[in-house]
Amino acid sequence: MIDRNLLAPWVRRFLLEHIVVERNLAHNTQMSYRDTLTLLLPFVSRRSGVSIDRLSIEEVSPSAVRQFLEHVERDRHCSVATRNQRLGAIHALARFIGTRAPEHLAWCMEIRSIPFKKAAKTVIGYLEKTELDALLRTPDRRTPLGARDHAILLFLYNSGARADEAARLPVGNLHRGTSPSVRILGKGNKWRVCPLWPETVAALRPLLAGRTPEDTVFRGRTGKPMTRFGIYRLVAAYGRTASLTIPSLATKRVSPHTARHTTAVHLLRAGVDINTIRAWLGHVSLDTTHVYAEVDLDMKAKALACLDITDLPRPARRGPMPSLMEFLRGL
């Protein structure tokens, strides 16, 4: 008979059945939940002195979870957003157990009562045109690897794709006809189609020779598909090199997501409507896309320059303020 107080069977059902079969969550969400438990269970095991396979549900107590969240921020130097992401996964596990085992309902409520921490609003970083041009000029396109790296940078800027989306992109999703485009599978298993510039198609063409539609577009030195971590390191390395010629890049974090933000801001400056940008980037809500309108200082400066304040009425000059006694006598 299965011990319903033992945590391991619940974790197995949660990861292999609930979030995959019942919820059909996105692959990245599944990996995020898995990574959270990969960190949480050893932490609780060390704290309680019980091996991971013998942990009980009660040993993942609210105090243990709070200490784990402190460990994530203090020792692992993660942001508040990452801390809240880990807590969301723990909440989901508690809800899964509580709805299937009424005897653990009180424990579930205590775990789910642990609040998310309010995070400071981060400023979105993006590159100006001169900075982006310097970044695109950095790879040596005379070498095969340099040509591949230039194609990756240009594709990220053209499509606004996330690093994971670019790493998983199959050759069959590229359409190189009269109207070149790419089909991208993004968050929430949502498909979107983005047009490709002729320059992007020309940069990608050498990478596709001899590939089948199922092969990935971007491959590493050994011929294996690149990972999102490899693409991140590549973009960051070229950002550091480009900062030697453009000093302003040294103050910015250059990453695949920076290229994505740059795409959105440049589209906005070009007069593309906000709803088209939302579809271009694959955002679910317009609220997410509206952030780019808030961070674009160039557009704000142009709006300020359009204001004519020369004919605005000036406030009337006032005399000295009356004393308290004069004010009271006038009542």
For the annotated catalytic residues, the residue numbers are 162, 187, 257, 260, 283, 292
* Burial grade of 21 (CB within 10 A; 0-12, 13-18, 19 or more): exposed
* Residue 112 identity (one-letter amino acid): R
- Is residue 38 a contact partner of residue 28, using CB atoms and an 8 Å limit? no
CB count within 10 Å of CB 270 equals 8
Q: What is the Cβ-side half-sphere exposure of residue 28, based on CA atoms within 13 angstroms? A: 13
Q: DSSP assignment, residue 6? A: B
Nearest C-alpha neighbor of 213 from the set 251, 265, 159, 176: 176
The Cα–Cα gap between 24 and 30 comes to 9
Burial class (CB in 10 A: 0-12, 13-18, 19+), 22: exposed
Token pair of 195 as six digits: 């047009």
> Residue 231, CB half-sphere, CA atoms under 13 Å: how many?
28
H or E element in which residue 167 lies: helix 163-167
Q: Using the Cα atoms of residue 176, residue 144, residue 264 and residue 122 in order, give the sign of their dihedral.
A: positive
What is each CA distance from 262 to 37, 128, 236, 287, 293, in whole angstroms? 34, 8, 15, 18, 12
